């Protein structure tokens, strides 16, 4: 039986929940390792900065480390806020006592503002802690403080990493986000540099440094090499920044659970889409609603922002020997046309996450009216220049109606087939409405 790795964070507590031990434990949980902690300082902190802090007595810090290490099999630890020389010395003694492999985040200031480290403590980290450490993960400002070099370019970063490596630490990772989004990994024994490319991500960054070093420790505990762990940790933080949400008036904290929630949302969307497609395939009257260009059905995840967040049929739904035929699998990013309908509708109502296009006819519109569905429309002739028809048309139809209707249609234009678009909360709801329309259409034909 494979044991779940246990990782220890030795760091300060953030009462706002965005950084420190709170960020570390959330990261450990998200990455599938068991998180333990030894709190070094208690900060009165929120998204705007640090109001005050209280350092835990060094012997109490040591007691916390003793408590978890004598009971659990811990190889990797992560250090964060070590505010005083005495705390640094106590932590260093425990690391030697239990042969821990620390990932050191040399926290000097809070992302939202506030100093967290004395100058005396910084020299103790260099002299007492780094020689025992597996990795140190300074940002540009922390790199300058540890090396004495002002970092203005990549060459300066390499020189600084070499100087920090002389402390005895096995790997130096200078994290990006200031003048360059890339991370620089320097393996001291191999004298090898590796650049891990990245991009600047829009979103909150409170707790990003803590989250990165915690993720690095978690990946190392799972057996990844230092470069692979660094690469994975960087991607994890990018997703956490991208998924951040404002929770206060200051810098939004990163969201360690964003990738888990997105994956879960994608799974549920795909499940609903598969059910909807199966419903359509088994509806013998549905071919009456298939337009010449074919139909498609799509559904977005919550908080969708682009086409890649919307799942649709990779081909289309077409008529084959008077039966509905689904061409292609359900995939994310498969249809920009229907996706744009949904994304435009979600600007007005985030609960409307699914849509489908079907054939337009006056009879179809009459049936929709008889069903009591809310209907709006747009005229392609009124479309402004240099706009997307779906973006403008859906938005315009919503403005006319005053809210997101159940159906939006247009009567076509030059080279453009008229079309009806059914909107709803999910794909199965939309498919159900389409089937009801199709069955009513077929029934009316049989009575004439």
User: Of 288, 212, 82, 11, whose CA–CA distance to 280 is shortest?
Assistant: 288
Query: What does the block give as tokens for 201?
Result: 């991500």
| Beta pairing class for 419-424 and 296-300 | unpaired
Most confident range (mean pLDDT) of 104-108, 175-179, 374-378 is 374-378
Rounded (5°) CA angle 217-219-220: 65
The reported pLDDT for the residue numbered 17 is 95
User: Of 241, 186, 32, 381, whose CA–CA distance to 393 is shortest?
Assistant: 381
Dihedral sign computed on CA atoms, order 7, 8, 11, 17: positive
pLDDT at 424 over 80: yes
Task: Give me the mean pLDDT over the 98-106 stretch.
Answer: 96
pLDDT at 448 over 60: no
Collapsed DSSP state (helix, strand, coil) of residue 355? strand
Task: Give me the mean pLDDT over the 170-191 stretch.
Answer: 88
pLDDT at 1 over 80: no
* Contact (Cβ atoms closer than 8 angstroms) between residue 360 and residue 289: no
Q: What is the residue-averaged pLDDT of the chain? A: 93
pLDDT digits (tens, 9 = 90+) for 331-389: 999 999 999 999 999 999 999 999 999 999 999 999 999 999 999 999 998 988 888 88
Predicted confidence band of residue 115 (pLDDT cuts 50, 70, 90): low
- Give the chain's domains with CATH numbers: 6-256 (3.40.1190.20), 261-446 (3.40.225.10)
Is the overall model pTM greater than 0.85, yes or no?
no
pLDDT at 110 over 80: no
pLDDT digits (tens, 9 = 90+) for 77-88: 999 999 999 999
Cα dihedral angle (17, 20, 22, 27), rounded to 10 degrees? 120
Q: At what angle do helices 336-346 and 389-401 cross, to 10 degrees?
A: 30
Close Cβ partners of 247 (under 8 Å, ≥ 6 residues apart): 16, 18, 47, 253
The reported pLDDT for the residue numbered 123 is 86
pLDDT digits (tens, 9 = 90+) for 10-44: 999 999 999 999 999 999 999 999 999 999 999 99
How far is 132 from 124, CA to CA, in rounded Å?
A: 12
């Amino acid at each position: 039986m494979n044991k779940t790795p246990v990782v220890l964070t030795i760091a300060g507590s953030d009462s706002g929940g965005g950084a420190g031990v709170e960020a570390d434990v959330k990261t450990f949980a998200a990455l599938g390792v068991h998180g333990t902690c030894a709190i070094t300082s208690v900060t009165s902190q929120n998204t705007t900065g640090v109001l005050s802090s209280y350092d835990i007595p060094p012997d109490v810090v040591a007691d916390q480390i003793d408590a978890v290490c004598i009971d659990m099999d811990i190889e990797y630890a992560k250090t964060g806020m070590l505010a005083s020389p005495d705390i640094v010395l106590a932590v260093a003694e425990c690391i030697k006592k239990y042969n821990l492999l620390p990932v050191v985040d040399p926290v000097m200031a809070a992302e939202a503002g506030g100093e967290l480290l004395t100058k005396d403590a910084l020299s103790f980290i260099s002299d007492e802690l780094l020689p025992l450490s597996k990795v140190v993960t300074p940002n540009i400002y922390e790199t300058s403080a540890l090396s004495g070099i002002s970092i203005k370019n990549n060459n300066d970063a390499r020189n600084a990493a070499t100087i920090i490596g002389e402390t005895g630490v096995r790997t130096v990772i200078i994290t990006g986000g200031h003048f360059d989004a890339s991370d620089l990994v320097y393996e001291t024994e191999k004298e090898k540099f590796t650049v891990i490319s990245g991009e600047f991500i829009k979103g909150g960054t409170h707790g990003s440094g803590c989250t990165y070093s915690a993720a690095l420790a978690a990946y190392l505990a799972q057996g990844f090499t230092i470069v692979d762990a660094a690469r994975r940790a960087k991607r994890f933080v990018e997703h956490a920044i991208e998924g951040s949400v404002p929770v206060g008036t200051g810098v939004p904290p990163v969201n360690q659970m964003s990738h888990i929630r997105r994956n879960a949302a994608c799974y549920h969307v795909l499940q609903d889409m598969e059910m909807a497609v199966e419903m359509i395939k088994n509806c013998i009257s549905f071919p009456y609603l298939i337009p010449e260009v074919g139909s498609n059905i799509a559904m977005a995840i919550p908080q969708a922002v682009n086409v890649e967040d919307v799942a649709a049929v990779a081909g289309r739904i077409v008529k084959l020997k008077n039966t509905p035929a689904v061409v292609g699998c359900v995939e994310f990013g498969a249809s920009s046309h229907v996706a744009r309908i949904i994304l435009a509708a979600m600007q007005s109502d985030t609960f409307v996450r699914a849509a489908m296009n079907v054939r337009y006819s006056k009879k179809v519109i009459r049936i929709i009216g008889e069903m009591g569905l809310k209907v709006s429309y747009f005229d392609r002739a009124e479309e402004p220049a240099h706009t997307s028809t779906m973006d403008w048309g859906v938005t315009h139809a919503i403005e006319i109606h005053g809210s997101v209707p159940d159906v939006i249609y247009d009567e076509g234009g030059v080279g453009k087939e008229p079309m009806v678009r059914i909107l709803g909360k999910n794909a199965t709801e939309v498919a159900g409405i389409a089937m009801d329309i199709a069955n009513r259409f077929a029934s009316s034909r049989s009575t004439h």
